[in-house]
């Protein structure tokens, strides 16, 4: 049994994981050396010349000894080692994660540049030439996406703004509109227009065609002046003030709230606070890929733990913000085969141009996150598993999650690499009237899955159960999109038909997507130079 020296190994792993997350873009020798040290210390493997860290890593990634006929034997040896070393600890899981990344990268079935010395040399040369790039060119300037023109182009208006957000209003297109609108809280890690991609993939456009008006928060892309902005400020001065504006603007007494990912976490805390003060402004709650049991976030737990928290906090507070590109790379590492390894092979080695995809365009349009806000989220919610435990005070906000009695609809997706569907399913332990729906695909494509074309399908189970495996074994598969399933479910909460709201020019600040959506996340090192 291999023993891991806890403190030193944790520190090395923390350094190595973040080195891996920047490896593709930076090619920094120190980053490569950090990874090499971890592997050479804990695995009996010849890395090549000790004096050249880049060449050593290339020897690991492309080693001529690991040709096709030899790979499976070597892979088997690594797997045996990992099985022998399995302590069940977080240390082991991080170690295994790193090894598996390299095993996948070396696999000749994925990487054609193992087969001959000629392509091996070409592949190494291509990768070394690319080390000056900050990141893989996942999105091309030639792509036909223009904010407000071909993407985020649904007709809408900014009707409220403050330093935290702009509130976008998308009026229903039908003459007989529904009385109670939808109020969307997106994650503050990316831009809001995941809900308004190209026309055929736009959730808000689809809602409007169904006669449902929608309000959607567009979060500010913060700079370092937001360092001390807290979770309570984002919820009370952000979400709550925007919801009050939506209520007065729509002239209704309640809203159908929809929260996505971290936006769903914020919605849970907000709903708990409203229940505490006995507010009745919630008609229904919908949670999309929202974590409720943080113990089931195995991928993210590799990067976030009690042992690492002080180091993470020092890094974030030194910059003043959580760098949006860092989060993007971490998420990519969590599905490295698709997001990194295949991208390296296709774009760097084979020089293929990525296919234009609206959700990839959105994915690289990152936002930063205020340091205090992010650390409160990690300490007070993530590490304490505060939602599942129904904490009575979350990040300084008094809550009563047990008092939430409105209808709740929860969507998880089967291949979600960020928020496992079982973490989403845990909502049944929090809310008494929960309908759970399991979509196909992953964190983005499974949520933005319009009814046409019928891509991934979804599963439902009308028999209530508190166990996710039991739920899945009795679930029924349906063709089409969970959007239609949700639309049927939400009907009783939409209220009566009414004449659609007239557009009052006095209420309009500007047209959607609004100024906040256009603000790019500046590189923090560039901010420093200024």
Q: Where are the domains of the chain?
A: 6-134, 157-223+235-293+386-489+508-517
For residue 319, what pLDDT is reported? Answer: 84
Three-state DSSP class for 182? strand
User: What does each C-alpha distance from 49 to 36, 40, 56, 58, 124 come to in angstroms?
Assistant: 11, 12, 6, 11, 16
287 phi/psi in degrees, rounded to 5: -120, 125
Angle (CA) 513 518 522, round 5°:
155
CATH no. of 157-223+235-293+386-489+508-517: 3.40.50.1820
Residues of the chain with pLDDT under 50: 1-71, 73-75, 77-78, 80-82, 84-86, 114-121, 123-137, 524-530
Give the position of tokens 């000790």. 50
Length of the chain: 530
For residue 345, what pLDDT is reported? Answer: 60
For residue 281, what pLDDT is reported? Answer: 98
Q: How far apart are CA 120 and CA 122, in angstroms?
A: 5
> What are 442's two structure tokens?
């992953």
Q: Are 257 and 286 spatial neighbours (Cβ–Cβ below 8 Å)? A: yes
For residue 331, what pLDDT is reported? Answer: 65
Q: Which residues pair with 218 in a beta bridge?
A: 166
For residue 313, what pLDDT is reported? Answer: 85
> What are 500's two structure tokens?
């659609």
For residue 93, what pLDDT is reported? Answer: 65
CA 514 to chain centre: 23
Which of 186, 157, 152 is closest to 250 using CA atoms? 157
Q: How far apart are CA 437 and CA 482, in angstroms?
A: 7
pTM: 0.79
pLDDT in tens, 483-493: 999 999 999 99
216 annotated active-site: no
User: What does each C-alpha distance from 461 to 91, 405, 450, 468 come to in angstroms?
Assistant: 37, 21, 21, 11
Q: How far apart are CA 283 and CA 182, in angstroms?
A: 10
Q: Which residue of the set 139, 261, 406, 485 is catalytic?
A: 261
């Amino acid at each position: 049994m291999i023993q891991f020296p806890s403190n030193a190994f944790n520190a090395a792993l923390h350094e190595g994981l973040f080195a891996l997350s920047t490896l593709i873009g930076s090619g920094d020798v120190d980053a490569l050396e950090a990874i090499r040290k971890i592997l050479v210390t804990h695995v009996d493997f010849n890395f090549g010349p000790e004096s050249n860290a880049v060449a050593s890593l290339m020897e690991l990634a492309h080693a001529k000894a690991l040709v096709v006929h030899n790979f499976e034997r070597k892979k088997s040896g690594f797997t045996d080692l990992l099985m022998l070393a399995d302590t069940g600890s977080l240390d082991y899981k991080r170690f295994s994660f790193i090894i598996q990344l390299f095993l996948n990268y070396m696999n000749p079935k994925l990487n054609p540049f193992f087969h001959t010395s000629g392509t091996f040399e070409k592949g190494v040369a291509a990768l070394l030439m690319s080390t000056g790039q900050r990141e893989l060119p996942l999105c091309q300037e030639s792509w036909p996406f223009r904010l407000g023109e071909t993407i985020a182009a649904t007709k809408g208006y900014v009707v409220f703004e403050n330093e935290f957000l702009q509130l976008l209003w998308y009026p229903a297109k039908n003459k007989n509109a529904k009385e109670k609108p939808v109020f969307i809280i997106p994650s503050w890690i990316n831009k809001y227009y995941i809900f308004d991609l190209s026309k055929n993939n736009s959730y808000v456009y689809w809602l409007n065609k169904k006669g449902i008006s929608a309000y959607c928060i567009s979060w500010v892309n913060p700079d370092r002046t937001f360092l001390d902005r807290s979770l309570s400020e984002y919820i009370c001065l952000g979400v709550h003030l925007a919801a009050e504006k939506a209520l007065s603007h729509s002239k209704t007494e309640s809203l159908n709230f929809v929260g996505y990912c971290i936006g769903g976490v914020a919605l849970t805390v907000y709903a708990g606070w409203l229940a505490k003060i006995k507010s009745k402004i919630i008609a229904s709650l919908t949670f999309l890929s929202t974590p409720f049991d943080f113990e089931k976030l195995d991928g993210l737990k590799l990067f976030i733990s009690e042992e690492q928290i002080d180091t993470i906090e020092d890094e974030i507070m030194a910059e003043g913000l959580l760098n949006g590109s860092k989060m993007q790379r971490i998420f990519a590492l969590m599905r490295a085969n698709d997001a990194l390894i295949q991208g390296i092979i296709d774009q760097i080695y084979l020089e293929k141009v990525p296919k234009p995809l609206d959700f990839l365009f959105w994915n690289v349009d990152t936002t930063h996150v205020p340091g205090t806000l992010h650390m409160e989220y990690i300490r007070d919610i993530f590490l304490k598993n505060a939602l599942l435990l129904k904490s009575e005070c979350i990040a300084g906000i008094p809550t009563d999650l047990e008092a939430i009695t409105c209808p709740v609809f929860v969507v998880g997706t089967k291949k979600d690499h960020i928020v496992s569907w079982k973490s989403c399913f845990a909502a049944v332990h929090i809310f008494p009237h929960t309908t759970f729906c399991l979509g196909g695909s992953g964190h983005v494509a499974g949520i933005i899955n319009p009814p046409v074309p019928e891509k991934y399908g979804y599963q439902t189970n009308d028999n209530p159960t508190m166990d996710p495996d039991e739920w899945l074994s009795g679930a029924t598969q349906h063709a089409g999109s969970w959007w239609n399933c949700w639309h049927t479910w939400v009907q009783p909460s939409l209220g009566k038909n009414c004449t659609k709201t007239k557009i009052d020019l006095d209420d309009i600040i500007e047209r959607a997507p609004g100024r906040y959506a256009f603000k790019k996340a500046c590189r923090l090192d560039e901010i420093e130079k200024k």
